[in-house]
Amino acid sequence: MSVEWRTDDGPVEYEEAVRAQEERVAAIRAGVASELVWLLEHPPLYTAGTSARAEDLVEPLFPVFRTGRGGQFTYHGPGQRVGYVMLDLKARGLDLAAYVRGLEEWLIRTLASFNVKGERRPGRVGIWIAAGGREAKIGAIGVRVRHWISYHGVSLNLDPDLGHYRGIVPCGISEHGVTSLADQGVIATVAEADLALRRAFADVFG
């Protein structure tokens, strides 16, 4: 299947990105557009998924957007690469659980290209790193599916300001931290990250 790739280097406003995804989902369903993976970053903001709890918004340092993706509160901002994935799951087996595992594997393989070991954790969404006697989250996942077309997707921390996370309890998990490639001593440019993401995606989704 042909998947189109779009990359934006400058910050994309969150509401604009959601609107563009919804338009593409409708076009894919109508058979007039191909599947799309869109790599971008946002200005600093928090998003609240469908399971977000009010008490997990500790201090609204940045604008807060209610969104239809699954999950709880997360942060987006400069230094974080977001991957919005619009795939026709009807043509890919109608298996939402397998799709989410594929997104996890995508991030794990991307991290491996930088010699960083990302891991799943039972009962926790996202990708985690065990380093220095602690566990920290480096990649987040939040998806929505409409008429079996996916949107929203993943985020990977390259070098964001980790202090920006203090305004929320990320994904409702307070006992573990948040990390980034830079925090692990790995400097990756946006171009390098995009190339790694594209190669890993091909390995996982074909």
User: Could you say which of 171, 178, 193, 200 is catalytic?
Assistant: 171
Reading the block at residue 100, the tokens are 């989410």
Helix (H, G, I), strand (E, B) or coil at 178: strand
Q: How far apart are CA 188 and CA 185, in angstroms?
A: 10
Contact 147, 28 (CB under 8 A): no
Q: Write the DSSP assignment of 61-94 as a string of letters.
A: -S-EEE-SSSSSEEEE-TTEEEEEEE-BGGGGTS
* Residue 189 designated active-site: no
49 Cα distance to chain centroid: 13
Q: How far apart are CA 20 and CA 25, in angstroms?
A: 9
Residue 3: Cβ-neighbour burial (10 angstroms; 0-12, 13-18, 19+): middle
Q: Which positions are catalytic?
A: 171
